[in-house]
Structure 1
Amino acid sequence: MTRGAAQDQQANPRRRAFHMNRQGKAAHVFLTPWLLGFLLVTAIPLLASLYLAFTNYNILDSPEWTGLENFRRMAGDEQFWASVRVTLVYVLVSVPLQLAFALLLALILDRGLRGLALYRSAFYLPSLLGTSVAIAILWRVIFGDQGLIPQALGLLGIDTGSMLQNPKTALLTLIVLNTWTFGSPMVIFLAGLRQIPGELYEAARVDGANVVRQFWHVTLPLLTPIVFFNLILQTIGAFQTFTQAHVVSDGTGGPANSTLFYTLYVYQQGFVSYDMGYASALAWVLLAAIAAITAVHFLLSKYWVFYGDN
């Protein structure tokens, strides 16, 4: 080996180390804005709210440590339990309906319709707009006293008045709104359907399975991971619903607290009553509840989710 070749071999590791060092510095520079945003917008406020959950804090005065008093207060808070009931009903009814409509539309679109991209975009659009203030205001126009739905029912001799001011129907209108925003899970279902091998359907047809049996014994088992994924996302999103309830009820929770969602109650305590300590405690209870429900979903998933290797 010549002397020049030996020097090049010694120099190459140094060059590589130099380039890796420069790349590392560049990576840190590009990550710095994200790290600052995470610390200032997420991590520090999160830790601050955890501290405030154990205090009596009304923004104007300094926080006063009260221990578990805020959490004991929830046990006798009737509005707290009302918000829990409303939120649970909303989640348990709207999420299954939303996923059922999403899967139904995905099955229809998967049959090779012309202009599939157009239909997919049209059905996905409500998911983009469903949580916006504009759509919530539109919902007030549709279901209000002079709305399209009450007028249409009036022609049939059914006098409902404003469905948003009726305790029996106010929550139903928000459930319909959430069900209408099925575009996002529909697109995910459609992607999952495209991954199922056609040979399985051919084998099922050879065995004499009709369309219904093909769905129950081929499509649905292979689609269970997608169902599970959508179920987790939509359940978490439903527990965090706020904009629709706030706009539709003008932030009051509707007649007889019929649309007093948990997040709306947290907002009322924190930004109307300025009881930030209690609001922080409520927020952490919601976080713990969502985490527990998600954990239960994962524990139960082994009994019904089919991944192909179990």
Structure 2
Amino acid sequence: MGKKRYNNLQGYSFLLPALLVILVFTVVPIAYAFFMMFFKVDLLSGARTFVGFGNFEKIFSDPKFWASFENTIKYVAVVVPIQTIIAMILASLLNSRVRFNRAFLTVMFIPTLTSSSAMTLIFMWLFNNNGLVTNVLESVFGTKVQFLTNPDLALSVIMVMNIFSTVPHFMVVFLSGLQDIPGSLYEAASIDGANKVKQFFNVTVPQLMPITFYVVTMGLVGCFQIFDQAFIISNGTGGPQNSTLTFSLYIYQLAFSSNDMGRATALAFLLGIIIFTVTFIVNKLLKADEVNG
């Protein structure tokens, strides 16, 4: 018994530094933020006034909240499925041993290695009123499309940029999962008369379901938390006409522009609940834990 207690104590002593870091930098800030969301907090003076659920009432009555909600949901609904499908298809092509796949993989992975800020500046240069894409479209179709100043197109630029920069990473994740699929499954499907397309949908896709769940979950979390691209493109305003205002950018505006840390923390917790709920629903729909069991 003494030996077991000694081993347990030794194990906890090894865990103690990591547990202290988690406690100080994760648990305590979350608890303090939960406490602050029931107060009106002035960030500059530090003054607190208890308002109960008043912060949530203000949030739900603010048109900017509903604009950020609509933009974020639209962004998630478009980006996550497209980046997942493209990454899976590209991984399947690479796994089929096409020629020059190593060089192709290296070139494809470059956007992932580029910082999001640098990528945003590049896309701003491409899609501004005198950018390369704008000038090419004007020369081909005779119409000048203003992407970054058009409320209907500004968010689409961020969508394209995110898909372009995240697909390579998820492609590699899918590729690692593809290499774990037994070749006997494809041989059996081929004997049954399944062509490459049927093998993809009846063998590859089901076998990749746990990986797909991971990719979709990471995509959901990343898209719901999008901030830097929207901040840089709109210069922190969420414009034009709130068309690029996202949850995270709205939280930033509440905390550092309006000096209302109470509403900012309330919205942050609301965002956390939304992410948890959507992830839970995706887990139930994909049933990742029931595949390859």
Q: CA RMSD in A?
A: 2.3
Matched residue type, 1:52: M
Query: Offset at 1:111?
Result: 1.3
Letter matched to residue 101 of structure 1: I
State, as a whole percentage, how many aligned pairs show the same letter: 37
- In structure 2, the CA distance between the partners of 1:18 and 1:211, relative to structure 1 (3 Å rule), is closer
- Correspondence for 1:5: none
1:231 is aligned with what amino acid? V
**Structure 2: unaligned runs, 5 residues or longer:** none
TM-score normalised by L of structure 2: 0.91
1:158 and 1:75 mapped to 2: Cα distance?
A: 44
Equivalent in the alignment of 2:133: 149
Q: Which residue of 2 aligns with 1:285?
A: 270
Residue 68 (structure 2) pairs with residue 68 (structure 1): no
3-state SS of paired residue (1:64) = strand
1:299, CA displacement in angstroms? Answer: 2.3
Cα distance, 1:36 vs structure 2: 3.6
Alpha-carbon distance change, 21 to 307 in structure 1, aligned in 2, over 3 angstroms: closer
Residue identity matched to 1:253? G
Q: Report if aligned partners of 1:86, 1:258 keep a CA contact under 8 Å in 2.
A: yes
**Structure 1 residue 44, shift from structure 2 partner:** 1.6
Query: In structure 2, the residue corresponding to 1:136 is in which secondary structure?
Result: helix
Match of 2:124 in 1: 140
The offset of 1:238, in angstroms, is 0.6
Of residues 256, 261, 283, the one that matches 1:276 is: 261
Q: Does 1:175 align with 2:175?
A: no
Q: CA deviation at 1:64?
A: 0.8
Alpha-carbon distance in 2 for matches of 1:17, 1:220: 46
Deviation at 1:200, TM superposition (A): 1.6
Equivalent in the alignment of 1:54? 38
Structure 1 18/209 Cα, relative in aligned 2: closer, same or farther at 3 Å? closer
Shift, 1:24, TM fit: 4.7
Residue 196 of structure 1 pairs with residue 176 of structure 2: no
Q: Which range moves more in the overlay, 138-147 or 110-119?
A: 110-119
Cα-to-partner distance string for 1:203-228 (whole Å, 9 max, x where unaligned) = 22222211111111111111122111
Query: How far apart are residue 260 of structure 1 and its match?
Result: 0.5
1:215 paired with 2:192, answer: no
Give the paired residue count: 291
8 A Cα contact 2:119 2:161, kept in partner: no
Tell me by how many angstroms 1:56 deviates.
0.5
2:21 equivalent to 1:37: yes
Partner of residue 237, structure 1:
222
Tell me the amino acid that sits aligned with residue 272 of structure 1: S
Match of 2:104 among 111, 119, 131: 119
Cα distance in 1 for partners of 2:8, 2:68 equals 54
Larger mean CA deviation between 247-256 and 151-160 belongs to 151-160
Q: Structure 1 residues 231, 112: CA separation in 2 closer, same or farther (over 3 Å shift)?
A: same
Look up the equivalent residue of 1:27 and give its one-letter code. F
- The answer to whether the 8 A contact 1:147-1:162 is kept is no
Q: Which moved more, 1:120-129 or 1:256-265?
A: 120-129
What's the CA shift for 1:115?
4.8
Equivalent in the alignment of 1:8: none
The answer to whether the 8 A contact 1:221-1:306 is kept is: no
Q: Deviations over 1:144-201 (max 9, x none)?
A: 1111110110111343343111111101101101111212211111111111111221
